Chain A
Amino acid sequence: MTITRLSAALGFLLALGSTACGGSEHASEGVDASDALKSQSGAYLVRYTPIPDPPVTGKNQLTLELTRAKGGAVDDATLEVTPWMPAMGHGSPVQPTVQNLGSGRYSVDDLGYTMPGRWEVQVALTDARVVDQVVIELDVR
């Protein structure tokens, strides 16, 4: 009887463990990096690639590809990037830098995540006096 109960308890724990170690599918869950995110106004589309992918604690990069919803790359936008950890109510001590790579592509460097968990990368973009923003959600490991 005791052995049966122990086996059941062990089985339960192992089942929990197998769920816990289920691989990397939960990185960036809820956000498919291959899909474009719409900006707040809907006027812009943003595709992104974290480097490394999935993102990790420490120094990371993000490449962004900006297009107008009506078509055409956004070549000369000004981007201001702010990382934020919503559940903990804090950002990052490091201010990211943005480099325009041309053809609507931008590289965000020095993205610092101080701890694992869900982070938001808020991208405020200014394009020909139009101000808009998009929020990218990332699960940092």
Chain B
Amino acid sequence: MGALAVALTLTLGASSARAQACCTATGSSGFGVVGRCYFAALASELSYERGFGAFDAKGRFAPLSRAEADDVVLALAGGVRLGTPMLQLYGSVPVRFQYRDLHGLPAASAVGFGDSSATLRAMTLEDRMTGIDLSRPATLIPFVEPFIGVRVPTGRPATRSSEPTGVDAMGEGGWAVSAGVALTKYVTLSTAASVTASYGRRLPYSVERGTRSSKFQPGDELDVRLGVVHVFDLLWSASGFVSGRFTAESSLGGAGIRDSQTRRIRLGAGVERYLVFPTWQLGLSASLDPPLAGFGQNLPFAGTTLSLSMQRNFTW
């Protein structure tokens, strides 16, 4: 009798985990991404970012000196499938509240939009989500989702900042277009690994240096993210990730800028819970820039981020 109960529990646990896995699959790889079994999604995320240091041009870390940088970001995102389950469009718009307390200047805060983004994503291959069984080669096939994206400079750039602390600088200043691919593979019935990589071309824009105007060409960027998500049961799942953003040398007026490459490697983890399955989803996550040499380069404000998100999924 006891053995039967255990077997029943395991069976029910596995099937409910699989039910959530079916919906969580591919949706956990990005904010606003529509999960596999949904038609659309709306998401909001409230984040608190606290800077604790900086990485210099040589990749060395130093704690912030006589400075405090705190940001609260409310990001709104949404995605929808475009007539077919194989294609979706999603995007996000952040609203930033920034606070800076710098040496010798009055502390200041500012509110404004950050840079927005939109992505068109296709699903070209589907994982069977049965876990890997080496005797069945078809179980090795992952979800394969190529995508193209654009980042829109809706945030005020540092070149147009008017506050002495630069607290009102909230965007990068130029457009960026990118292309990449996301691979997600259910290694077991309830654990998936993912790799997302994209290459971005940042478009040039004019900057004023003193009385001269020059064209600033930011370096191209490579984004890589490795993640793992484990689905415990119908309601709970947990994930972890490491992400890296690497940008090439920038140039000003056609001349390369020495030591202008940037690097940012972050670690993060989170838990998600369906408040109402499969529609309402609550998430809590934390990430940080490890304060160790080599994990960043030319990164003015490295720090920690704590995020709380709520997502409403819409089924077919």
Interface residues of A, Cβ cutoff 8 Å to B: 13, 16-17, 19-22, 26, 29, 52, 54, 56-60, 80, 82, 84-94, 112, 114-118, 122, 124, 139, 141
B280 within 8 A of A: no
Q: How far is the CA of A20 from the CA of B208 in the complex (A)?
A: 34
Interface size on B, residues (CB 8 A): 47
**Residue of A16, A19, A82, A89 most packed against chain B (CB within 10 A):** A89
Contact A89 B54 (CB under 8 A): no
| 9 A-B contacts (beta carbon < 8 Å) | A13-B292, A19-B60, A56-B103, A88-B298, A89-B207, A89-B216, A90-B157, A94-B164, A114-B165
Given contacts A89-B173, A93-B166, contact A124 B210 (CB under 8 A): yes
Taking chain B's interface residues, is the majority helix, strand, or loop, or is none over half, making it mixed?
Answer: loop
Q: Which residue of B lies closest to A122 (CB)?
A: B210
Q: How far is the CA of A67 from the CA of B103 in the complex (A)?
A: 31
Contact A89 B294 (CB under 8 A): no
Given contacts A87-B57, A117-B300, contact A59 B103 (CB under 8 A): yes
**Residue of B102, B208, B216 most packed against chain A (CB within 10 A):** B102
- Which of B72-80, B180-188, B256-264 is the interface stretch? B256-264
Contact A56 B67 (CB under 8 A): yes
Given contacts A57-B66, A141-B54, contact A112 B105 (CB under 8 A): yes
B218 within 8 A of A: yes
Query: Closest 10 interchain pairs by CB?
Result: A114-B166, A59-B104, A58-B103, A58-B102, A116-B54, A115-B300, A89-B216, A20-B293, A90-B158, A87-B260
Q: How far is the CA of A40 from the CA of B209 in the complex (A)?
A: 18
Beyond A16-B292, A59-B164, A85-B158, 8 extra complex contacts between A and B, CB < 8 Å: A16-B294, A17-B293, A26-B56, A58-B102, A59-B103, A88-B298, A116-B300, A124-B210
Q: How far is the CA of A57 from the CA of B67 in the complex (A)?
A: 7
Contact A58 B209 (CB under 8 A): no
Q: How far is the CA of A91 from the CA of B301 in the complex (A)?
A: 17
Contact B57 A20 (CB under 8 A): no
Q: How far is the CA of A86 from the CA of B169 in the complex (A)?
A: 16
Residues of B with C-beta under 8 A to A29: 58
Q: Which residue of A lies closest to B104 (CB)?
A: A59
B162 within 8 A of A: yes
**Residue of B259, B292, B298 most packed against chain A (CB within 10 A):** B292
Residues of A with C-beta under 8 A to B58: 26, 29
Residues of B with C-beta under 8 A to A112: 105, 164-165
Residues of A with C-beta under 8 A to B169: 90, 114
B163 CB contact (under 8 Å) in A17, A21, A54, A93: A93
Q: How far is the CA of A141 from the CA of B54 in the complex (A)?
A: 8
B65 CB contact (under 8 Å) in A22, A56, A80: A56
Considering the complex, which residues of chain B in the window 236-279 have a beta carbon less than 8 Å from any beta carbon of chain A?
A: 250, 252, 257-260, 262
